[in-house]
Amino acid sequence: MSGKVIFHLDMDQFFAAVEQLHHPELRGKAIVVGGSALGRGVVTTASYEARRYGIHSGMAAADALRLCPHVIFVRPNMGKYLDVSHRVFNLLREYTDLVEPVSVDEAYLDVTDVVWKEGGVDALAMTIKRRIRDSERITATIGAGPNRVVAKVASGMHKPGGIPPGFSPLWLS
């Protein structure tokens, strides 16, 4: 086997997940992390429960409130998000030094030199996802590919939760 193996990791509903972790009373509820619906606020992140109503990032908070009148608005706390992000990125660096953060909740990893030592694409992706879940109590999606574009598309196809069981990308054959 030759060629690059790139992972794209995206933490699922990151800001909302961190808020639900710190405020258990918000779990299972439609929440929006972002600005107030009373002003010109914008949705930064919506929980999956809020997304069922059509709420998404970048949407005006007032529109989110119209779509889901019972949605709960939470002001962002970047300090909390950065703490979790730093711990996750440090965990990723235990597998490879080739970690390229894209944002506070997203990164590319070049795992070419370690993936086969760790049991292959599926095994490494599942190990990383499990460690994030166990240590931070949040979920992440991982897509794999021979380059960043394919890895990003792969992660988007399997949100939330990432790599489907029995994942065997054709490009590895």
- The structure's pTM equals 0.83
Place of tokens 């914008």: 42
pLDDT in tens, 10-42: 998 999 999 999 999 999 999 999 988 787 899
pLDDT in tens, 149-166: 988 888 877 666 555 444
Catalytic residue set? 106
What is the residue extent of each domain of the chain? 6-12+81-172, 15-74
Asked whether the predicted pLDDT for residue 169 surpasses 90, the reply is no
CATH class of the domain at 15-74: alpha beta
CATH superfamily of 6-12+81-172: Reverse transcriptase/Diguanylate cyclase domain (3.30.70.270)
pLDDT at 9: 94
Local structure of 150: helix, strand or coil? helix
pLDDT at 159: 66
Q: Across the chain, which distance is largest between two alpha carbons, in Å?
A: 56
